[in-house]
């Protein structure tokens, strides 16, 4: 059987983890194809390859977020021949995306979103230490650049960076350390809809709250729910208003962005 795991990746994983006996790629792959599920004699782990700055950034934000009661993986980092890798425990539960596909009830899905909102509200209280605020990879336009470069190439990354920068300008009180890709694929929940962990911290960066809210709102709409319900719930939990007009226009930008990415990918596949 042909394996989609390179020898380098195999060697790297076996080097940084003890007692490795199985390496697999996720069945529902993410956007970057750099995530591996690893079984070892000491437990099951996720190994996620990335560039040095992003791996350091993810490790830093994971520790900061968990101190604020946000459920994120306990990330450690490793290096093999210049390649950086995030290592964290594998969760036995499924993503919300998988639960929905397997028929999770509407009531439980709504509850899961409410729990995501509670986590999102907590993100609003994170203070990034002053000495870290200049760290480039902590800013959303730069982390998006890195992510897009890996998925859609440098040209698209260069196009997107100034757009993301502009979308994230705004009042200082609305800027914080938010996960800007809280989609159903990036949230692991149990069968009752409680959050086990928010994963994929590539998208956790200093950004505008309304921008980050957009990803969640987008998925909520895709499920056929009314957006105003989500806004109302957030405002109740956070006890502060959200800029609905701005998020609605962000959603239009997200849709345009997705369309352009789709076109670019199709063009590249030709």
We find the least distance from the C-beta atom of residue 27 to ligand ADP, in angstroms, to be 8
We find the least distance from the C-beta atom of residue 188 to ligand ADP, in angstroms, to be 6
Nearer of residues 26 and 153 to ligand ADP, judged by Cβ? 26
Nearer of residues 86 and 174 to ligand ADP, judged by Cβ? 86
Nearer of residues 54 and 138 to ligand ADP, judged by Cβ? 54
Nearer of residues 64 and 201 to ligand ADP, judged by Cβ? 201
We find the least distance from the C-beta atom of residue 72 to ligand ADP, in angstroms, to be 10
- CB contact at 8 A, 199 and 186: yes
Nearer of residues 174 and 186 to ligand ADP, judged by Cβ? 186
End-to-end Cα distance, the chain: 27
> Whole-angstrom Cα distance, residue 87 to residue 231?
35
Which positions touch Mg ion (CB under 5 A)? Answer: 30, 186, 200
We find the least distance from the C-beta atom of residue 186 to Mg ion, in angstroms, to be 5
Phi/psi of residue 40, each to 5°? -135, 170
Which positions touch ligand ADP (CB under 6 A)? Answer: 26, 28, 30-32, 35, 46, 48, 73, 88, 90-91, 95, 185-186, 188, 199-200, 202
Nearer of residues 178 and 231 to Mg ion, judged by Cβ? 178
- E-state strands within the chain: 20-24, 35-40, 43-50, 76-80, 83-89, 94-95, 175-179, 187-189, 195-198, 204-208
Residue 84 binds: one of Mg ion, ligand ADP, none (C-beta under 5 to 8 A by kind): none
Question: Which burial class, exposed, middle or buried, applies to 204 when counting CB atoms under 10 A from its CB (0-12, 13-18, 19+)?
Answer: buried
Q: 69: which residues sit within 8 A by CB, 6+ positions away?
A: 122
We find the least distance from the C-beta atom of residue 201 to Mg ion, in angstroms, to be 10
Give, in order, the Cα–Cα distances in Å from 196 to each of 86, 152, 247, 265: 19, 30, 27, 33
> Whole-angstrom Cα distance, residue 42 to residue 87?
13
We find the least distance from the C-beta atom of residue 36 to ligand ADP, in angstroms, to be 9
């Amino acid at each position: 059987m042909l394996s989609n795991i390179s020898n380098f990746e195999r060697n790297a994983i076996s080097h940084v983890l003890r007692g490795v006996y199985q390496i697999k790629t996720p069945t529902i792959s993410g956007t970057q194809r750099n995530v591996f599920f690893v079984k070892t004699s000491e437990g099951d782990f996720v190994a996620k390859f990335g560039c040095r700055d992003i791996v350091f950034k993810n490790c830093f934000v994971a520790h900061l977020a968990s101190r604020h009661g946000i459920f994120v993986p306990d990330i450690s980092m490793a290096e093999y021949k210049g390649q950086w890798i995030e290592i964290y425990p594998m969760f036995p539960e499924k993503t919300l995306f998988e639960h929905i596909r397997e028929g999770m009830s509407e009531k439980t899905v709504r509850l899961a979103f409410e729990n995501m909102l509670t986590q999102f509200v907590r993100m609003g209280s994170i203070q990034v230490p002053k000495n870290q605020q200049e760290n480039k990879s902590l800013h959303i336009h730069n982390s998006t650049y890195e992510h897009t470069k890996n998925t859609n190439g440098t040209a698209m990354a260069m196009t997107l960076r100034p757009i993301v920068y502009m979308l994230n300008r705004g009042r200082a009180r609305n800027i914080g350390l938010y996960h800007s890709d809280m989609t159903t694929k990036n949230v692991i929940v149990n069968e009752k809809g409680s959050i086990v962990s928010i994963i994929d911290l590539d998208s956790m960066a200093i950004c505008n709250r309304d921008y980050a809210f957009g990803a969640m709102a987008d998925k909520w709409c895709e499920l056929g729910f009314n957006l105003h319900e989500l806004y109302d719930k957030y405002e109740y939990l956070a006890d502060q208003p959200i800029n609905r007009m701005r998020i609605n226009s962000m959603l239009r930008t997200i849709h345009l962005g997705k369309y352009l990415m789709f076109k670019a990918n199709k063009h590249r596949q030709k």
